[in-house]
Amino acid sequence: MATRKSSPKKSAAKSAASGASKVGTLPPYGVPIREAIARGDAGEMKRLAASTRKYLADLSSAVDKLDKALGKTKG
């Protein structure tokens, strides 16, 4: 029986909502970053850094879009 794969966005949202604690499933706030540093696993820290950079770029893009949308609604 074939299974349907969910989109990456839906999977990430579902993982974050379920409280999963794997790198890349949590927003990169201070606690996961500090915990990764404390564990000292270089591979985990590199993955978390890359994930965080992508998250920040996506967030910055979304904020830019919000600013543009707000500019259109200002009178």
Report if residue 50 sits inside a domain.
yes
Q: Name the residue range of residue 66's domain.
A: 27-75
Report if residue 61 sits inside a domain.
yes
pTM above 0.75, yes or no: no
* Low-confidence residues of the chain: pLDDT under 50: 6-21
Burial per residue of 40-62, b for 16 or more beta-carbon CB atoms within 10 angstroms, e otherwise: eeeebeeebeebbeeeeeeeeee
Give the other-Cβ count within 10 Å of 33's Cβ. 15
Q: DSSP code of 38?
A: H
Number of domains within the chain:
1
Report if residue 34 sits inside a domain.
yes
Report if residue 33 sits inside a domain.
yes
Token pair in block for residue 73: 């609604």
Give 2-22 pLDDT, tens digit per residue.
555 544 444 444 444 444 445
Provide, rounded to the nearest whole percent, the portion of the chain with pLDDT above 90.
44
Report if residue 22 sits inside a domain.
no
Report if residue 17 sits inside a domain.
no
**What's the rounded Cα separation, in Å, for the pair 25 and 33?**
13
Report if residue 1 sits inside a domain.
no
